[in-house]
Amino acid sequence: GNSVTQMEGPVTLSEEAFLTINCTYTATGYPSLFWYVQYPGEGLQLLLKATKADDKGSNKGFEATYRKETTSFHLEKGSVQVSDSAVYFCALQGAQKLVFGQGTRLTINP
């Protein structure tokens, strides 16, 4: 069945550091892929998405490229800010539902 695996957290970085959060998936076909972000005390919000192989999704300085050959969708940001502290979820679109990874908690220290 479809599944998503994210790098284990928590991840702690200093402000302005480079961020990578790894995400790999198992799926039949080529599903759409997503990154969602959850700020403290809130629900999840869509951060970015990619709908086909080699697409790059981007938003708020974050980027992720849909890599069919490595079944990956890693999240990157060149210079993180304290306000990026949150839990990040990778997800893929399955039949009638989204399948989420376990989430990666990111903390950015000033």
Interface contacts to another protein, rule CB under 8 A: 32, 34, 36, 41-46, 49, 51, 89, 93, 96-98, 100-103
CB of 16 to another protein, least distance (A): 29
Nearer to another protein, 15 or 54 (CB): 54
Q: Smallest distance from the beta carbon of 9 to another protein, in angstroms?
A: 10
Sign of CA dihedral 14, 15, 18, 19: positive
Choose between 57 and 77: whose C-beta lies nearer to another protein.
Answer: 57
CB of 110 to another protein, least distance (A): 26
**Minimum CB distance to another protein smaller for 14 or for 107:** 107
User: Cβ contacts of residue 39 below 8 Å, gap of 6+?
Assistant: 45, 86
Nearer to another protein, 42 or 69 (CB): 42
Instruction: Centre a 10 Å sphere on the Cβ of residue 67 and count the other Cβ atoms it contains.
Output: 15
Q: What are the DSSP calls for 30-88, one per residue?
A: ---EEEEEE-TTS-EEEEEEE-STT-EEEETTEEEE-BTTTTB--EEESS--GGG-EEE
